[in-house]
C-alpha cells in the first residue's frame, strides 16, 4: 500500500502548491475537499489542513470532523487550518488590526521543537490572512512568533499536532521547504521513495485493487490527461477496458482524430457515442453552470451505453489542477459515480505532460483545448451556427501556423485571443485574416491582453 500525505482542501489558492512541495520531497500526497474525505486507512501517514478564503468566524466557513485524525495521526494546520484548530478547540481568533499580507520575519521560540528543527533562529515567512489567533487553548504551546503575530506557530502537547499562521509552500518563505520536510519526513516518517515517474505503476496497482476484474469504461476526449490515462490503463493486466468518445456539437473534429489514435496506440476498444447536446435546453441557454448540465447529459449517455455493454466502472481524466470551484462539471462527475484517478493521486497537468512525454505519447505537448461552448459568453444563447463559426475560424488560424489560441464569439463579433509572441504575425496577415473571418462574423477584434 502506497504511503501518503492527505491534504484537506478548504479552498486555498495555495493548496496545489503545498501538494507540489510534498511531491518534491519524493512523498506521495492526495488532495481532497474538506466535505469529501476518503477513508483514513493505514496508508495515510499524516494530514495537512490547507488555508481558505473564509474566516473561521464566518457562519458559512468550512467545518470538518477531525475525530479520526487529530491525536491519532500527525497533523499540520496551515493558516486557516491553524486558526480552525485553535478556535474549534477553545482558543480565540479575532480580526487582525490590518490584513497580514507579505513578508514577515519569524522568530523561532523553541528551536528544539520537531517542526522547527534546522531552521535559523530568525527566518523570512509569507503571511496571507485577515484574522489572527489571540488566545490558544490549554495544552497549546507557542513555538514561533513574528513582530505582529504572537501565535505564528504552535504545537499541541501530548499529540502530534502542529499549526502555523504562514505559508511554508511559497517561495518567499525561505526555509519553508525545511519546515515541510520536518513534518512530512521527520514527524510523519515518510520514506521519500515516491517519484512522479512511478505514478503509472502506482496508478495501475491501485486501479487493479479498486476495480478487481471489473469491466471499465474510460471517457477518452483526445486531450493530454485522458490519453495518458488510456496509456496507464493499457498496462493493467486482467481488466477489460474500453474507450468511449462522446461526439457532440461542442467537440471539434480533431479531438475525435486524436482520441482514435490514442485508443489504437493503447490497444483499447473504441466506441463513439453521439449526443445531441443542442437539444438540451438547460445547456443551450448557457447559464453559468452550463458545464455541469452538459456533463450530466454526457455522462448519462456514457453510463447508459456502458450498462448496455456490460461495463460497471467509469473513469475520466480530471487532474489535480482542476479546482472544483472553477469546474462546475466536476459536481456532475461525482453525482454520476465517475472515478478520476489522476486527480485522486494528486497529479497536476504539468506532471501529466512530463510523464506523457517520457512515455512517448503524441499528446504530451498538445495545447489545452476547452470545448467550443466556452467561446460563447454565459447568458448568450448557444447555436449550431455560432459553434460552426468558432471552429471554422480557429481551424483557419491553425492553418496559418497560429497555436494555443481562442476565437470568442460575442454577439456576432469575433474576439481573437493569442499568445503575445503571435501578435506581430497576425498584423502581417491582417487583411487575409479579416477577409476569411468576416465570412463568419460581423466584426473581428483582437484582445490586447495575451493568453
Active site residues: 79, 167, 169
Beta bridge partners of 108: 144
| Torsion (CA) 200, 202, 204, 208 in degrees, nearest 10 | -170
Per-residue cell: 277:
447536446
Does residue 393 contact residue 424 with C-beta atoms inside 8 Å?
no
In the structure grid, which three cell numbers stand for residue 103, read together? 513578508
Nine-digit cell string for 399: 492553418
395/392 Cα distance (integer angstroms): 5
SS3 374: helix
Q: By the 8 A CB rule, do 336 and 246 touch? A: no
Grid coordinates of 203: 496508478
In degrees rounded to 5, what are phi and psi of residue 74?
-55, 135
Sign of CA dihedral 205, 209, 212, 217: negative
Residues 403, 404, 409, 413: is their CA dihedral positive or negative? negative
Half-sphere exposure of 42 (CA within 13 A, CB side): 1
What are the φ and ψ backbone dihedral angles of 159, each rounded to 5 degrees? -150, 155
Q: How is residue 92 written as a grid cell?
A: 480565540
Helix, strand, coil share (%) of the chain residues, nearest 5: 35, 25, 40
3-state secondary structure of 443: strand
* Cα distance between residue 125 and residue 383, in whole Å: 51
Greatest CA separation for the chain: 74
Identify whether the C-beta of residue 152 lies closer than 8 Å to the C-beta of residue 165.
Answer: yes
The order of strands in the sheet holding 406-410 is 406-410, 413-417, 443-446
Instruction: List the grid coordinates of 316.
Output: 475520466
- Residue 211 phi, psi dihedral angles, 5° rounding: -105, -10
Alpha helices in 59-181, H assignment, sequence order: 80-87, 176-181
d(CA 194, CA 203): 12
Amino acid at each position: 500500500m502506497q504511503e501518503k500525505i492527505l491534504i484537506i482542501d478548504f479552498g486555498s489558492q495555495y493548496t496545489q502548491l503545498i501538494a507540489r512541495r510534498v511531491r518534491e520531497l519524493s512523498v506521495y500526497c492526495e488532495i481532497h475537499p474538506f466535505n469529501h474525505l476518503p477513508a483514513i486507512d493505514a496508508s495515510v501517514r499524516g494530514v495537512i489542513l490547507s488555508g481558505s478564503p473564509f474566516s473561521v468566524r464566518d457562519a458559512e466557513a468550512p467545518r470538518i470532523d477531525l475525530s479520526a485524525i487529530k491525536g491519532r495521526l500527525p497533523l499540520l494546520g496551515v493558516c486557516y487550518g491553524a486558526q480552525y484548530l485553535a478556535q474549534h478547540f477553545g482558543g480565540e481568533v479575532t480580526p487582525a488590526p490590518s490584513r497580514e499580507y507579505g513578508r514577515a520575519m519569524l522568530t523561532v521560540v523553541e528551536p528544539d521543537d520537531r517542526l522547527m528543527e534546522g531552521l535559523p533562529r530568525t527566518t523570512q515567512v509569507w503571511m496571507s490572512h485577515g484574522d489572527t489567533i489571540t488566545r490558544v487553548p490549554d495544552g497549546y504551546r507557542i513555538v514561533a512568533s513574528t513582530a505582529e503575530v504572537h501565535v505564528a506557530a504552535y504545537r499541541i502537547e501530548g499529540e502530534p499536532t502542529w499549526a502555523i499562521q504562514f505559508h511554508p509552500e511559497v517561495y518567499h518563505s525561505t526555509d519553508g521547504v525545511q519546515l515541510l520536510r520536518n513534518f512530512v519526513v521527520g514527524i510523519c516518517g515518510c520514506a521519500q521513495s515516491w517519484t512522479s515517474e512511478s505514478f503509472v505503476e502506482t496508478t495501475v496497482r491501485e486501479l487493479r485493487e479498486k476495480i478487481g476484474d471489473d469491466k471499465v469504461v474510460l471517457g477518452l476526449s483526445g486531450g493530454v490527461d485522458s490519453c495518458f490515462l488510456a496509456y496507464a490503463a493499457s498496462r493493467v493486466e486482467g481488466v477489460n477496458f474500453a474507450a468511449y468518445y462522446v461526439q457532440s456539437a461542442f467537440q471539434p473534429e480533431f479531438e475525435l482524430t486524436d482520441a482514435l489514435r490514442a485508443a489504437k496506440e493503447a490497444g483499447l476498444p473504441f466506441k463513439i457515442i453521439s449526443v445531441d447536446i443542442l437539444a438540451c435546453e438547460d445547456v443551450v441557454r448557457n447559464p453559468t453552470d452550463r458545464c455541469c448540465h452538459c456533463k450530466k447529459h454526457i455522462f448519462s449517455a456514457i453510463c447508459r451505453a456502458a450498462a448496455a455493454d456490460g461495463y460497471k466502472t467509469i473513469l475520466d481524466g480530471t487532474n489535480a489542477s482542476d479546482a472544483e470551484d472553477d469546474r462546475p462539471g466536476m459536481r456532475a462527475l461525482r453525482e454520476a459515480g465517475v472515478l478520476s484517478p489522476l486527480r485522486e493521486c494528486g497529479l497536476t497537468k504539468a506532471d501529466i505532460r512530463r510523464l506523457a512525454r517520457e512515455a512517448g505519447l503524441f499528446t504530451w505537448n498538445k495545447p489545452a483545448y476547452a470545448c467550443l461552448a466556452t467561446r460563447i459568453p454565459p447568458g448568450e444563447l448557444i447555436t449550431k451556427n455560432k459553434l460552426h463559426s468558432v471552429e471554422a475560424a480557429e481551424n483557419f488560424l491553425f492553418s496559418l501556423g497560429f497555436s494555443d489560441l481562442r476565437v470568442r464569439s460575442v454577439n456576432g463579433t469575433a474576439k481573437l485571443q493569442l499568445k503575445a509572441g503571435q501578435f506581430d504575425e497576425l498584423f502581417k496577415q491582417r487583411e487575409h485574416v479579416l477577409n476569411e473571418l468576416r465570412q463568419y462574423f460581423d466584426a473581428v477584434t483582437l484582445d490586447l491582453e495575451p493568453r
